[in-house]
Structure 1
Amino acid sequence: MGSLCSSCFGSNGESSNLMPSPETRRRQQLEAAERRREENERRGIKNPDSIRRQQQRTEEMERREEEAARVGGGAPNLKWQTA
């Protein structure tokens, strides 16, 4: 009877082939987490390219403002005159 049950359910050697190695499982979990993160970032955005361009424009404007402040020596560009 013991051999009949072991042949029906498989031996320990066969069940270990069903589970991936810990390294493979870790890699698969990392890939799945990365996919979920990307999906969450894109959720609700119809055109991700336009958002990316908008962010680049904003970063470029901030960089230019910082550069202008550095070159200008911190002095304001506009001067108030009262009559």
Structure 2
Amino acid sequence: MGMCFPCPGESAPPSPNLEEKRAKLADAAERRQKEAASRGIQDVHSVEEKRKKKEKMEKQIATSGPPPAGGLRWTVS
């Protein structure tokens, strides 16, 4: 019949090391974040390139100094 408890002669299965368990959990969390970030995107590579290009442009604008005398700035995309 069904047994709910292990036999007295059997020991409990060894539990994984605490550090190994944390590493596995961290890997799984990173994998889930990557999957969630790319959900619904057909070409992940092009999206990353666009994001990097935008960040580079924003950084260049920030380091270019004060705006011209009029104070207005426009860009063509």
TM-score range, shorter chain: 0.5 to 0.7
- Corresponding residue for residue 6 of structure 1: 8
Q: Call closer, same or farther: CA 1:67–1:76 in 2, change over 3 Å.
A: farther
Greater alpha carbon shift after TM alignment, 43-52 vs 59-68: 59-68
Distance 2:44 2:32 in 1: 16
Matched, 1:45 2:30: no
Secondary structure at the aligned position of 2:46 is classed as helix
Q: What stretches of structure 2 of length at least 5 have no aligned partner? A: 1-6, 72-77
Distance 2:19 2:52 in 1: 38
Q: Call closer, same or farther: CA 1:63–1:76 in 2, change over 3 Å.
A: farther
TM-score w.r.t. length of structure 1: 0.62
1:24-63 matched pairs, under 5 angstroms = 24-63=20-59
Specify the structure having the higher radius of gyration (Cα): 1
CA RMSD in angstroms, aligned pairs only: 2.1
For 2:69, the aligned partner's letter is P
TM-score w.r.t. length of structure 2: 0.66
- Corresponding residue for residue 68 of structure 2: 75
The aligned length equals 65
Q: Call closer, same or farther: CA 1:76–1:58 in 2, change over 3 Å.
A: farther
